[in-house]
Amino acid sequence: MVKYISDRLDATFSALADPTRRGMLAKLSLGEKTVSELAEPYAMSLAAASKHIKKLETAGLVRREVKGRTHYCHLNAKAMAEAHAWMDYYTRFWTGRLDALEEALMANVEGTENSQ
């Protein structure tokens, strides 16, 4: 199970690492788009756009639906929610650690002031 979660996170972060794919996800957050619509803002072929979309599909971030000759893409935010939960855990961890460090530093400063 841990390996599965790790593989999913690796795929998600790998897909999100590219600005073109992040831009495509931003467009998909507004609703269903065709591959052509996703490729349009970028100077790329439909084949190149399809490769980006495939990477997003592999990560589970996008679902592709074929109607006739047209490919429609839909955002699937569940994989992003998993990545968010992972990051949220470490945010809470580091916030707690930094709070403890601040308390220790403040106690040290107060102790130094009292000894003078």
Q: What domains appear along the chain, each with residue ranges and CATH number?
A: 2-114 (1.10.10.10)
pLDDT score for 35: 95
Reading the block at residue 70, the tokens are 């047209």
Are residues 61 and 12 in contact, defined by beta-carbon separation less than 8 angstroms? yes
Are residues 58 and 9 in contact, defined by beta-carbon separation less than 8 angstroms? no
Residue 116 pLDDT class (50, 70, 90 cuts): low
pLDDT digits (tens, 9 = 90+) for 30-64: 999 999 999 999 989 999 999 999 999 999 999 99
pLDDT digits (tens, 9 = 90+) for 7-27: 888 999 999 999 999 999 999
Which ranges of the chain would DSSP assign to H, the alpha helix?
2-16, 19-28, 35-39, 46-58, 78-114
Higher pLDDT, 48 or 91: 48
Nearest-CA neighbor of 38 among 74, 78, 69?
74
pLDDT score for 113: 64
Residue 92 pLDDT class (50, 70, 90 cuts): confident
Reading the block at residue 88, the tokens are 């949220």
Nearest-CA neighbor of 24 among 4, 8, 48, 1?
48
User: What secondary structure letter does DSSP report for 42?
Assistant: S
Name the average pLDDT for the chain.
87
Residue 1 pLDDT class (50, 70, 90 cuts): very low
pLDDT score for 70: 94
Mapping DSSP to helix (H, G, I), strand (E, B) and coil, where does residue 96 land?
Answer: helix
